[in-house]
Each structure stands twice: as structure tokens, then as C-alpha cells.
């Protein structure tokens, strides 16, 4: 089968490359000429471990073009994988790119094609895409399907090739058989493939992301309680995560969730549910808790510095919303850093992959080549993203390099007892205070949460 993937953003590019790994001929389409030119040269516009190597391996089965009609006219399966950002004003998903792609597909496709919505879309979108194509091309027969993605940035290749499950919404036998054929390579791993209705597939995507976001906001509020009563949120997360009904994933407290999915998808689900007269109060509260937490980060940093950062230098390690990606969309760092600058702080920052993307959005920040360079002369250091290279920092070197002694670990990378001998004024999330062992009589410090 010949596959056309419309959209070479994160979802479209990863999905297209992985389908080529399955052995299919794939044409990826985008209107961005510079991006397509880069892909044709073999340059990957996003950082995703393993993606570049997979592109090179399957170069003979991959084609990149800006010619949508030419890519669609002979395709057996046409995926629409364009962006669905938050719509200004009401918080719902902006489906204009999906609908524009549907019109172009209708004009160019041949009869018998299967049109698959890969984009994250609210319930009812696939029905509207069908209506648009029928209006555009009333003489053409086609099948419509919903196939939402469940890819974690930083682990997307593994998630596509070895998924927990594949969800497919269909309305006819032809669509179901084509999608079964597309995912047949996963049969060897006995991957569950859930065939359901279009509406169920659309809701499943939002429900999954909203549930995971709720787990994050939940454990963050438990962390707040732990700080009040002197508990340890990591022990509690382990205690509840060992329950198979709950599970350990997404029970890691921190600065709040960000990225390209959870913020926009929770907002879209909540807004759509309100419009339909069926509000989801748990999701609405999840959003509020997360937004309040992100806004509070500068206050945490300022409090750790005695109530003011005026004239102080703060080192920030990690700008991307999570490790193993250069994605900075709705990253907590983008809110915290400008607020600290407004409070009078000078920011020195490091991120292994996201610095170039962040520079235009964070004017005035000094970008450093290493974590130690960022820490040089700093009054305080904030670990914002849990990159692996931050997990084994030489704390003695950091202590000597920094001017001040404040270490704020928003990802709980370090056990307090490991930090204590280095006499940092150590702040973590949801953990009780622990006395430090001063490195010298002149610098007694305490570990606090």
C-alpha cells in the first residue's frame, strides 16, 4: 500500500518514518518548503532519539514533498496529521488545519482511498471531515477512520513500534481491513488493536491524556501536603504506585506538566465538554492546579533566596518540558524565567537540546555550554528538567563553582542525604527537611523541602 502523511510535525514525521520501517512506501507532505528541503537532505527538524537513524535506514521508502495533490492522487491511505492548537478565546481545539487538509484531499484523492485522522481532534471531527470531503468530491467513494497517536516525546519510536495498544475508529469494513493491514507487523508482538466507533476513538485520545495529566496534578497536591506535614512524597508515590490499579507512572511530583499535548488536550476536552453541556470538573480542576503550580515556581525560587532575587544570578538547568526532546511548547521554564528576570534576577541557562529553540523566546538569558558553566558565580541553581546528564552532577564542584548555596531540585533527582555533605541550602518537592552536614564550620546549611 502507498501511504501519504499530511503534516511533518512531531506526529506526522514520526508516524511516517515508522510506517516506512514496517515496509510501506510513504510520502510525507508539508506546506513548509524549508522543512521539506531539510528532510530531503536528510536533516531532521526535531530532536527525537532514533528518528534520524530510522530515516536513513528507510530512505528508499520515504519521500518528502510540498505537492499535496501529487502525493494524494495515487495514495491508498491518506493520514491527516496536522496541528490542532488551542483556539483563542474559548480553549477548544483549532480544527481549521484539519478541515483545510480535508478539502484538499477531497479534490485530489481517487475513489477507494481511506482517509485517516491522526491529529488529536475533538469528538465529531471525523464526521465533519467526511461531510467536507463529500461536499468537495460528491462522486468519490472513500472510507474514513480515526487513529489517534499515543507517542511520548523522547520515546516515540519505541511507542510506535512497540505500543501498549492501537486504537482505531472505523465505520465500514473496508476501513477496518485496511487499518488491520497497516498494523499487521505488530501482530508478531500480539499488540492489542482496539477497533471501535469514530466517536469512541476520538474521545479515547483525550480521555487518556486527561487521565495522565490528572495523575500529575494529583501527586503534586500530595507533595504540597507532604511539605506541610513533613512527609516524603516519593515514599507515598511508591506506596500507591505498587497497587496495580494505580501503577507507578506519572506519579512524579515536579513543576507541573507542559509540552505539546497535555495542556492543549485538557483545555480542549474541558471546553468541548462544557459546550456540550457535560462539564468534566476533574479535568477543569486538573488544569487549574497545574497552571497555579507553574505560576508559583518563581515564588518558590524567590523564597529560597530569602525573599528577593534582586541583583542575584540564578542558574537554570533544563528548558525543554521533559528530557530527550527539544520541545519547549508550554514548558514551565518559559513562565518561570521571565518572572525571575522581572524580579531582578540574572539568568544563566543550559539545556542539551532546547537552547536554540528557546533563545528567541527568552531574551536576556546567558546560554552556557555546560551545567557547570551555568553554575559559575550563581547564587542559586534550579534543576527544571531531569536530563540524564543532570542526574550525576559533581556536587562538590558545583558548590565550589557557585557564589551562593541555594540548590532547588524541582524533579527530586537527588536524595537529600546525598546533597547534605555538600552544605547546599537544598530545596526539593514534597520531602521533609533534613539537616545538612556542613563542609566547613563557616558554612553551616540546612536541607529543606
pLDDT (tens digit per residue) in 98-119: 999 999 999 999 999 999 999 9
Name the grid cell of 393. Answer: 552532577
The answer to whether residue 424 scores a pLDDT higher than 80 is yes
Measured CA to CA, the distance from residue 219 to residue 224 in angstroms comes to 9
- Quickly state the pLDDT bin for 42 (edges 50, 70, 90): very high
The answer to whether residue 440 scores a pLDDT higher than 50 is no
pLDDT, tens only, 155-195: 999 999 999 999 999 999 999 999 999 999 998 889 999 99
Q: Is 7 left (phi over 0), alpha (psi -120 to 50) or beta?
A: left
Arithmetic mean of pLDDT over the chain: 94
- Quickly state the pLDDT bin for 89 (edges 50, 70, 90): confident
Measured CA to CA, the distance from residue 380 to residue 336 in angstroms comes to 14
SS3 assignment, position 40: helix
pLDDT, tens only, 385-423: 999 999 999 999 999 999 999 999 999 999 998 998 998
* 254 annotated as a binding-site residue: yes
- Residue percentage of the chain with pLDDT more than 70: 96
Distances (CA, A) of 194 to 120, 122, 259, 396: 17, 19, 27, 52
Q: What's the pTM value of the predicted model, to 2 decimals?
A: 0.92
Burial of 162 (0-12, 13-18, 19+ CB in 10 A): exposed
Mean predicted confidence (pLDDT) in 5-15: 96
Q: What is the pLDDT of residue 187?
A: 86
* 235 annotated as a binding-site residue: no
* 215 annotated as a binding-site residue: no
CATH 3.40.50.720 in the chain, residues? 2-196, 295-448
Is the dihedral angle over the CA atoms 355, 361, 362, 363 positive or is it negative? positive
Q: What is the pLDDT of residue 444?
A: 29
89 half-sphere exposure, CB direction, 13 A CA radius: 2
Measured CA to CA, the distance from residue 338 to residue 362 in angstroms comes to 7
Measured CA to CA, the distance from residue 131 to residue 194 in angstroms comes to 25
pLDDT, tens only, 243-256: 999 999 999 999 99
Helix segments in 242-367, DSSP class H = 262-275, 281-304, 332-342, 355-358
The answer to whether residue 446 scores a pLDDT higher than 70 is no
* CATH class of the domain comprising 206-291: mainly alpha
Q: What is the pLDDT of residue 442?
A: 31
The answer to whether residue 441 scores a pLDDT higher than 80 is no
Name the grid cell of 20. Answer: 516506512
Catalytic residue ranges? 261
The answer to whether residue 443 scores a pLDDT higher than 70 is no
Helix segments in 320-392, DSSP class H = 332-342, 355-358, 371-375
* 252 annotated as a binding-site residue: yes
pLDDT, tens only, 426-437: 999 999 755 344
Mean predicted confidence (pLDDT) in 320-348: 97
Residue 3 and residue 25 in contact, taking contact as beta carbons nearer than 8 Å: yes
Helix segments in 41-155, DSSP class H = 51-57, 68-72, 96-108, 125-136
Burial 248-265 (b: 16+ CB within 10 A, else e): eebbbbbbbbbbbbbbbb
Whether domain 2-196 has CATH 3.40.50.720: the reply is yes
* 243 annotated as a binding-site residue: no
Whether domain 295-448 has CATH 2.40.50.140: the reply is no
CATH 1.10.1040.10 in the chain, residues? 206-291
Q: What is the pLDDT of residue 447?
A: 34
Name the grid cell of 170. Answer: 472505523
Amino acid at each position: 500500500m502507498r501511504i501519504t502523511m499530511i503534516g511533518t510535525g512531531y506526529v506526522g514525521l514520526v508516524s511516517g518514518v515508522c510506517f516506512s520501517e514496517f515496509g510501506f512506501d510513504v510520502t510525507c507532505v508539508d506546506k513548509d518548503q524549508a522543512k521539506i528541503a531539510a528532510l530531503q537532505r536528510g536533516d531532521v527538524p526535531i530532536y527525537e532519539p532514533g528518528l534520524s537513524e530510522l530515516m536513513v535506514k528507510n530512505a528508499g521508502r520515504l519521500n518528502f514533498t510540498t505537492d499535496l495533490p501529487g502525493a494524494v492522487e495515487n495514495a491508498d491511505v491518506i493520514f491527516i496529521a496536522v496541528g490542532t492548537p488551542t483556539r483563542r478565546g474559548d480553549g477548544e481545539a483549532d480544527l481549521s488545519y484539519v478541515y483545510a487538509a480535508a478539502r484538499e484531499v477531497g479534490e485530489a484523492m481517487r475513489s477507494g482511498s481511506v482517509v485517516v485522522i491522526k491529529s488529536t481532534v475533538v469528538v465529531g471531527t471525523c464526521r465533519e471531515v467526511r461531510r467536507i470531503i463529500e461536499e468537495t468530491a460528491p462522486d468519490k467513494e472513500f472510507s474514513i477512520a480515526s487513529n489517534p497517536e499515543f507517542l511520548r516525546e523522547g520515546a516515540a519510536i519505541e511507542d510506535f513500534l512497540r505500543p501498549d495498544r492501537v486504537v482505531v475508529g472505523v465505520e465500514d469494513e473496508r476501513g477496518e481491513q485496511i487499518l488491520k493491514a497497516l498494523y499487521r507487523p505488530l501482530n508478531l508482538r500480539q499488540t492489542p488493536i482496539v477497533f471501535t466507533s469514530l466517536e469512541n476513538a476520538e474521545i479515547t485520545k483525550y480521555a487518556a491524556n486527561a487521565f495522565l495529566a490528572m495523575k500529575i496534578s494529583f501527586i503534586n497536591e500530595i507533595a504540597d501536603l507532604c511539605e506541610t506535614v513533613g512527609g516524603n512524597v516519593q515514599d507515598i508515590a511508591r506506596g500507591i504506585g505498587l497497587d496495580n490499579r494505580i501503577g507507578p507512572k506519572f506519579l512524579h511530583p515536579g513543576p507541573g506538566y507542559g509540552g505539546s499535548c497535555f495542556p492543549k488536550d485538557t483545555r480542549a476536552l474541558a471546553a468541548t465538554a462544557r459546550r456540550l453541556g457535560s462539564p468534566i470538573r476533574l479535568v477543569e480542576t486538573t488544569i487549574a492546579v497545574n497552571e497555579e503550580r507553574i505560576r508559583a515556581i518563581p515564588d518558590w525560587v524567590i523564597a529560597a533566596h530569602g525573599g528577593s532575587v534582586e541583583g542575584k544570578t540564578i542558574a537554570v538547568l533544563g528548558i525543554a518540558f521533559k528530557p530527550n526532546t527539544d520541545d519547549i511548547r508550554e514548558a514551565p521554564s518559559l513562565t518561570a524565567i521571565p518572572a525571575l528576570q522581572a524580579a531582578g534576577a540574572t539568568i544563566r541557562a543550559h539545556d542539551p537540546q532546547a537552547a536554540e529553540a528557546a533563545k528567541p523566546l527568552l531574551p536576556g538569558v546567558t546560554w552556557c555550554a555546560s551545567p557547570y558553566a551555568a553554575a559559575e558565580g550563581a547564587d542559586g541553581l534550579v534543576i527544571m528538567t531531569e536530563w540524564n546528564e543532570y542526574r550525576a552532577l559533581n556536587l562538590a564542584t558545583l558548590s565550589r563553582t557557585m557564589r551562593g548555596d541555594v540548590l532547588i531540585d524541582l524533579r527530586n533527582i537527588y536524595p537529600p542525604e546525598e546533597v547534605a555533605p555538600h552544605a547546599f541550602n537544598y530545596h526539593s518537592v514534597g520531602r521533609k527537611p533534613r539537616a545538612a552536614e556542613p563542609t566547613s564550620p563557616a558554612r553551616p546549611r540546612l536541607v529543606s523541602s
